[in-house]
Copies of this chain bind each other. A is one copy, B any other.
Amino acid sequence: MLERLWQLTELQFRPDEQHHHETLFTIGNGYLGTRGAFEEGYPGETPATLVHGIYNHAPDTLVPELVNAPNWLVLKIWVDGTPFGIVQSTENHMRPPQGVIFGYERTLDMRRALLRREALFRAQSGAIVRVQFERFASLADVHVMAQRVRVTAVEGNPTIEVESVIDADVSNQGVRHWRSDATTIADGDTTGVEVTTAQSNYVLGMASRLLCDGAVESIDDERRPASRTRFSLSREQTATLTKLTTVYTSRDVPNSPLEAARAKLDEATELGWDLLFSAHEAEWAEYWDTADIQISGDDEVQRALRFTTYHYLIAAPRFDERVSIGAKTLSGLGYKGHVFWDTELFIVPPLVLSQPQLARNLLMYRYHNLPGARNKARANGYEGAMYPWESTDTGEETTPQWSDPGADGTRIRIWTGDNEQHISTDIAYAVWLYWRWTGDDEFLRRYGAEIILDTAVFWGSRVEKAGDRYEISQQIGPDEYHENVDNSVFVNRMVVWHLETALWLVDYLHQHAPDDARRLVDTLDLTPDRLTHWRDVADKMYIPFDEERQIHVQFPGFFDLEYVPVPDYTPRTTSLHAILGHHRIAQTQVIKQADVVMLMALLGDELGPREVLLNNWHTYYPRTDHGSSLSPAVHAWVAAWLGLTDVAYEMLYHAVHIDLHDNKGNVGQGIHAAACGGVWQAVVFGFCGLQIENGELKTQPNLPKHWTEVSFRVYYQGQLREFTVRNPEAVPLSQ
């Protein structure tokens, strides 16, 4: 059953996994994402539909957040008057007072981005029906969502009522973002709502139609318009109902999103389920054609890797270059839909290689948000562009300054918005990586160069001269357990990379695009003095290094902190941050996540000789908590690249299951997007060792023993290239 390795299946619904699985079973199309809540609802559920770019800042909250859109899923079904639902036990199997289900199955078909669910349900009357739901958010037309429900009478001749609702009475866990004055339509089989965010004034229009054989009447419930139909089934008869929903926002159309949604609804109705689905399926086939990595010899990792790939694909904006992917994709409310470095360093690289257009969209988001970054630089007394640590629609810094209060009421000051400044370099790095792989000169000249150069301008103004060297104080590197440190080796070394790249880029533009070079020199004020200064900084930046141990030092003083033997703290699903406490952990050598190891991932052999890199690994790996979901994949990547295949596989196995296993219990808040992109890089850059060498691609594989073969396709300089990497040491199962 090869198909099985494309499917995520739930054979039993467990209420205590409800939120976790709502996240896993999210569908989406890069325009919106909808969590896998049930059509008929379930106690305690947390349904959410998140549309890219629709943020709002509610009163009494610290920062804006991505707004939960009206719930388009709702389809309520009554069987002889008993409401259909996942009722899993009863004292009376023959006449269950609340109804009861005799079987249940939910499958996410990742190949087709189709969510299916079915259940066998007995009503209080004794009648039994099979109910099958399907849903997808069209990738072929991102404004269209389709649902299909089939009700089959298995026993009895039940009367069925179906109510289709758009529920605009929604909030973000109690925080209300939509004004109360919604416009609603309830017109027979057609319903609609138009709602407006209270602070940001985004308008969202959603229209829906219930297609079925019988008569449909509407119910004009304020904020919950509904269509309702009623019919009888004789035994073995099946009724098929289709619900089509369309959505537009004021980001898409100049006037009345609801009108646009209605027009699109007519168009979608014309096509009907089959044509809509086949177009959707064809688009997904094209996505997977380059996105899928095939691993022979490890079914579990194969399936999990498809799952992680699916999730960044459904979150990647397809036709919109003014939005980006939040840390939790569109699958949950965690981190409020804010965009972090996760996107550029974890998700952009796989997209650069497999779907360059999507990567370009994400980078354009940063281009369009240069004004916000320039504002932040100015506000902090610097030049150039200083990107926000957390970014939304405006491009302004939206990191909250304080955590939510803990159990004892105390709040913790969050410094990342102030001092986690490496984000600007991370973005520059992603631009450079995109250009290096795609050769998209047009993008570089028109947009990318401005990002790389204006963030370089920022760093030129940010660094501090200290004697005959340069330093950078008060930084947060990737290891957020150590805040506001001076001379983070990650930051300092990446700034060197950044300024050197900027200098090279100025030369490159002068040679290949003199007009653009002149324009940028002009607008960004790239004077000869500034360039000389960059050269000087790059040459004289302080790179903390321990000559005796031959290792990079995460920051000066790091090794004076208390040593905590992290491997002793196993098995562990709780972070050491929680175990040791916020204040103590900063006084220890416990590292939250790949920091020097991240530097190795980004710079590879440029960072230093192999012995130093191995020393770094053996120093930092046993000090790392993996308190961030970003960490295991980077460790897998670097370890595989260094030839430490066993530990690399252990890290990969952990990373690829972060969401599926939900070891930390927080997947209910959304998919760990960075881990999804990270495992792709671990496999392709780490285990397969794909790299550019002298303008050509080569692989240098270090595959786990039990992987016999890995195949993947990547774009390089506009050409699609196919790789099959075989493991000379593969051990067949039968030995």
Contacts and interface: CB of A to CB of B under 8 A. Distances in A.
Interface of A: 1-2, 4-5, 11-12, 14, 16, 91-94, 102-105, 118-120, 122, 128, 130, 152, 154, 236, 294-296, 298-300, 302, 407, 565, 568-574, 578-579, 581, 649, 653, 661, 663, 704-706, 709, 711, 724, 731-734
Contacts of A572: 102-103, 120
A245 to B, nearest CB: 26
Contacts of A731: 2
Contacts of A578: 93, 102
Contacts of A92: 407
Contacts of A1: 649, 653, 704, 706
A275 to B, nearest CB: 28
A11 B661 contact: yes
Contact of A573 (B91, B103, B122, B711): B103
Contacts of A93: 574, 578-579, 581
12 contacts: A1-B653, A2-B706, A5-B733, A93-B574, A102-B572, A103-B570, A118-B570, A120-B572, A130-B569, A152-B568, A299-B300, A302-B733
Contacts of A120: 569-572
A721 to B, nearest CB: 16
Nearest to A303: B300
B5 A119 contact: no
Nearest 10 pairs of A and B residues by beta carbon = A103-B571, A103-B572, A102-B574, A299-B299, A294-B734, A105-B571, A711-B734, A154-B568, A296-B733, A103-B573
A104 B733 contact: no
A407 B92 CA distance: 9
Contacts of A104: 571, 573
User: Most chain-B CB neighbours within 10 Å: which of A5, A119, A734?
Assistant: A734
Contact of A119 (B118, B294, B571, B663): B571
A579 B96 CA distance: 11
Contact of A294 (B568, B711, B733): B733
User: Most chain-B CB neighbours within 10 Å: which of A92, A302, A569, A661?
Assistant: A569
Contact of A16 (B16, B569, B709): B16
B94 A581 contact: yes
A568 B122 contact: no
A342 to B, nearest CB: 25
A327 to B, nearest CB: 24
A1 B731 CA distance: 10
A425 to B, nearest CB: 35
Contacts of A118: 570-571
A537 to B, nearest CB: 43
A579 B95 CA distance: 10
A157 to B, nearest CB: 14
A427 B91 CA distance: 39
Given A11-B663, A93-B581, 14 more contacts: A1-B704, A2-B705, A2-B733, A91-B407, A102-B569, A102-B573, A120-B569, A120-B570, A120-B571, A122-B579, A154-B568, A296-B733, A300-B300, A711-B734
Contacts of A105: 571
A102 B579 contact: yes
Nearest to A91: B407
A657 to B, nearest CB: 9
A118 to B, nearest CB: 5
A670 to B, nearest CB: 20
A1 to B, nearest CB: 6
